[in-house]
């Protein structure tokens, strides 16, 4: 069987099961199987696939059909041009979250004084470690309520050659000090959305996804408590879902943030809210 034939087989299986990106999923899994890049796979269609690799590829396809994310099957996910280790202990980083990183980088470009950043609900560490790697002068720290997420975070620190302290904490409860910027991509799915994903067998941890009846429970706690942990003129920068920003803006105003703005992602959807104290 050739690479093109293997890709076609995987794409057909994924299409029949109504997966969103059947060809991309097949391409990434075949590249992982062969130890090659996606670009190599796309350029080498007529090349043969050996029988052992074909068995491995078909096994990965079968697991993908069980709703296991491609990133878990590969063990890595690219975020902001770097590969982060991921597995069922943490949320898979989404491209939308790069909007949060870009927002913070824009804040730093416009006002270079901020030096301290703390990333809440850090998971794999994709936000915290990216900010540190993009701005080595920043003093970055991170926290999560999950000890398992802390294990993945430290693995990614080693993998990327960066030192960022991790604190086990329920939001800011065990995080000392104040910060110029606090970032967070907290759980913001509604209970109904999470229940539907769980019923379909989605393997990402509940603690990283479920945000209560309207998906706002974690946000409301964070907004209330973050003011005391922000330095004067400090920023709270959070990712949220379209449709949640009106409620979040009102909560920030009630908590006496002096200004509130919303940033859109590449698809034009409201994605990040910025509050300044």
pLDDT digits (tens, 9 = 90+) for 216-241: 999 999 999 999 999 999 999 999 99
pLDDT at position 130: 98
pLDDT at position 200: 85
Closest CA to 74 of 111, 48, 36: 36
3-state secondary structure (DSSP) of residue 137: coil
Helix 22-34 to helix 3-16 angle (10° resolution) is 140
When the pLDDT of each residue in the chain is averaged and rounded to a whole number, the result is 96
CA angle 236, 239, 242 (to 5 degrees): 125
Looking at domain 87-276, which of 3.40.1120.10, 3.40.50.150, 3.30.479.30, 3.40.50.2300 is its CATH number?
Answer: 3.40.50.150
CA distances from 200 to 65, 113, 190 (A): 11, 46, 16
User: In angstroms, rounded to a whole number, what is the distance separating the alpha carbons of residues 64 and 71?
Assistant: 10
User: In angstroms, rounded to a whole number, what is the distance separating the alpha carbons of residues 222 and 82?
Assistant: 29
Closest CA to 7 of 83, 60, 69: 60
pTM here is 0.93
pLDDT digits (tens, 9 = 90+) for 95-119: 999 999 999 999 998 887 879 999 9
Share of the chain above pLDDT 90, in %: 95
DSSP state, 94? P
How confident is the model over 203-214, as a mean pLDDT? 94
Kindly list the domain boundaries of the chain, sorted by start residue.
3-66, 87-276
User: In angstroms, rounded to a whole number, what is the distance separating the alpha carbons of residues 238 and 187?
Assistant: 11
User: In angstroms, rounded to a whole number, what is the distance separating the alpha carbons of residues 140 and 130?
Assistant: 10
pLDDT digits (tens, 9 = 90+) for 59-76: 999 999 998 999 999 999
Domain 3-66, CATH homologous superfamily name and number: Ubiquitin-associated (UBA) domain (1.10.8.10)
Closest CA to 69 of 209, 195, 202: 202
pLDDT digits (tens, 9 = 90+) for 135-145: 999 999 999 99
């Amino acid at each position: 069987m050739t690479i093109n034939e293997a890709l076609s087989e995987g794409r057909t299986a994924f299409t029949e099961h109504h997966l969103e990106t059947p060809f991309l999923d097949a391409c990434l899994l075949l590249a992982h199987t062969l130890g090659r890049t996606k670009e190599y796979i796309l350029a080498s269609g007529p090349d043969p696939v050996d029988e052992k690799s074909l068995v491995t590829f078909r096994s990965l396809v079968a697991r993908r059909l069980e709703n296991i994310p491609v990133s878990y099957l590969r063990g890595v996910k690219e975020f902001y041009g770097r590969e982060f280790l991921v597995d069922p202990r943490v949320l898979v980083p989404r491209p939308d979250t790069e909007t949060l990183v870009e927002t913070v980088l824009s804040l730093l470009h416009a006002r270079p004084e901020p030096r301290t950043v703390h990333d809440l609900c850090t998971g794999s560490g994709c936000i915290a470690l990216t900010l540190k790697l993009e701005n080595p002068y920043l003093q970055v720290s991170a926290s999560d309520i999950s000890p398992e997420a802390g294990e993945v975070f430290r693995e990614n620190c080693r993998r990327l050659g960066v030192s960022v302290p991790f604190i086990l904490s329920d939001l800011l409860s065990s995080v000392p000090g104040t910060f110029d910027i606090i970032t967070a991509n907290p759980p913001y799915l509604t209970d109904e959305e999470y229940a539907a994903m769980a019923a379909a067998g989605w393997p990402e941890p509940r603690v990283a996804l479920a945000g209560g009846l309207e998906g706002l429970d974690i946000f409301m706690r964070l907004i209330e408590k973050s003011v005391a942990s922000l330095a004067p003129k400090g920023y709270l920068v959070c990712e949220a879902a379209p449709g949640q920003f009106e409620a979040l803006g009102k909560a920030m105003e009630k908590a006496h943030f002096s200004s509130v703005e919303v940033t859109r992602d590449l698809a034009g959807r409201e994605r990040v809210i910025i509050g300044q104290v």
